[in-house]
Amino acid sequence: MRYKEFGNTGQKISSVAVGTWAIGGANSAGGSFGDVEEATSIQAIRTMLDNGVNIIDTAPIYGEGKSEKVVGKAIKGLDRSKFYIVTKFGSYISHYDGKATRNNRYDHIMTEVDQSLQRLGTDYIDFYLMHWPDVNTPIEETMAALNDLKKAGKIRFTGLCNSPKELVEEAQKYGEINALQPPYSMVNQSQKELMLWATKQGIGTMTSGSLGAGILTGAIRKAPKFDDKDFRLTFYPFFKEPQFSKIMKLLDVLDKVAAKHNRPVAQVAINWSTQQDIVGTALLGVRNPEEAKQNCEAFSWLLDEVDISEINQSIDELNIGQ
């Protein structure tokens, strides 16, 4: 495993993090990533930790608390000082209409953090992140809650997900921002400028969607027939045209690079992301121990400059992820 200094936090964090959205299973609105098994999910998380990963990302909205509970079971009995827990607040599924709802108000955050701590079975959260902006709540109020939670010892570091630079700068007026979690991969570089800025500011980045919802593993070569509520269709554009055909052409290039190193395509994608200075840690969703082990084996080798140049040229020519 490779490790990086994470922004200005003074913490050394593994180049990849365990992503747990998929293991939350379905929510009450019916959205999911397909079938998952709790025991297998726990084994997958443990395998990532056994192979040097030291950070796990989750959120209350993933399976409406189930993901946090599974993480709690996976870390039970382990030395808590050896790894970092990331979870979020302010986003949940409304039981009135089944839609995603945002609430970043002070009192709501104070209630949510205790619920997350209970589900995770831990006394503190290392990184507590605002999941989405809430237009009905001033960022000053949200930051007041995070500052008080720091003082209380319930959280260590704070950050924002899915937020524009202007909101990050506004938040910095009221407290320290240690981490950002934007989407980033070969097929989504829309937040690259934000990440470059954050790196200069000493803010660490935790990139989501590192394998493009699985399309960058190379396992899918024909347009899939996912369930209508599958998040891979509803949240990501990669499995629809014209993106799908473009990504299939990119995979031809990744196939050549993978063959050159005698490695799986997924490891090419992982190294492409994690070898970049603007990526602090890249979230990888895993469903089973085999995937976890294969992902971690990416760190036994590196892409060379020729590989990266060839991949970047293909991304530019195909106009993917801009």
CA distance 104 to 132: 9
Burial of 210 (0-12, 13-18, 19+ CB in 10 A): buried
Q: Which residues pair with 56 in a beta bridge?
A: 18, 85
pLDDT tens column, 109-122: 999 999 999 999 99
Long-range contacts of residues 68-72, Cβ cutoff 8 Å, at least 24 apart: 68/116, 68/119, 68/120, 69/119, 69/120, 70/20, 70/23, 70/24, 70/38, 70/41, 70/42, 70/45, 71/20, 71/45, 71/120, 72/119, 72/120, 72/121, 72/122
Q: Whole domain around residue 261: which residue ranges? A: 3-318
Where residue 44 sits, what CATH number does that domain have? 3.20.20.100
pLDDT of residue 232: 67
Q: Which residues pair with 160 in a beta bridge?
A: 130, 180
Coil vs helix vs strand at 40: helix
pLDDT of residue 230: 66
pTM: 0.90
pLDDT of residue 38: 87
Active-site residue numbers?
A: 62
pLDDT of residue 29: 47
pLDDT of residue 320: 76
Spans in the chain with pLDDT lower than 50: 29
Coil vs helix vs strand at 84: strand
pLDDT of residue 40: 92
pLDDT of residue 144: 98
In the chain, how many domains are there?
1
Residue 134 to residues 97, 195, 226: CA-CA distances in angstroms? 18, 21, 31
